[in-house]
Amino acid sequence: MTTLAGRSAVVTGAAGGIGGAIVRQLVARGAVVYCVDRDADRLRSLEAQFGDGVRKYVADLADRADTDRATDALVAATGARIDILVNAAGISRVQRFESSDDALLDLIVAINFTAAFRVTRALLPALRSSGHASIVNIASELALIGQTGYGAYSASKGALLAWSRSLAVELAGSGIRVNAVCPGPIDTAMLAEEFATAADPAAARRDETALVPLGRLGAPSEIAAVVEFLAGDDAAFVSGAAWSVDGGKTAR
């Protein structure tokens, strides 16, 4: 079992379904987790659940000034040493390309890609101080395959994946590993909201599940387990990889 005792981790999107599961997994393995999200109520809930195992930072990562404020606070709070960074903040909207607009594109790219880019850049000196730092970016199966209605989302996650690979090469000399996790359809509130936009939400859920060879939606904890592995020393020779955790969907 991975031990992360004595290590500090920053998780963005910590209040989300996948982000929250990652926080729980890292805390359970001994890390102190600095949680960043715009949902103050859910962050308070994590803090109440885990006590000293988490520290909360409320920030809207679509806002550059707010992001800068949060990263400055994180560097100060961690003593300028961060061992693990998980860029899990993300949003999704189902909208066909011909009806999409610039505002939607700008928002999705700002949160799904630009925020990860800027947060990582701001925390890079603290990550270098670790000596064995790991960056894990939560991309998507839709960075690898296409699906109707997800043009902007796929573009943002494809950018995140390509950047992850480039960064893995660039930072290897600093002892920093960079990997991406590509979840398939995961049973979260965000996915439920996507189903709710369909004319028949129950049918939308069935249709999505039918695309998964294992015949079910994934659980957030199954993504968190892979992140835990990539964050720890058992993955010391793993960098620049895209880990598909999708029940076989991208293998079809």
Residue 214 DSSP label: T
Which two three-digit tokens encode residue 175? 């002892």
Tokens 């962050």 locate to: 43
Q: How many CB atoms lie within 10 A of CB 8?
A: 22
Closest CA to 27 of 51, 43, 45: 51
HSE-up of residue 74 (Cα within 13 Å, Cβ side) = 36
Which two three-digit tokens encode residue 166? 């480039």
Do the beta carbons of residue 126 and residue 80 sit within 8 Å? yes
Closest CA to 150 of 212, 65, 202, 91: 91
Tokens 């393995």 locate to: 29
Residue 242 CA, distance from chain mean position: 13
Catalytic residue positions, numbered? 153
Q: Is 79 exposed, middle or buried (0-12, 13-18, 19+ CB in 10 A)?
A: exposed
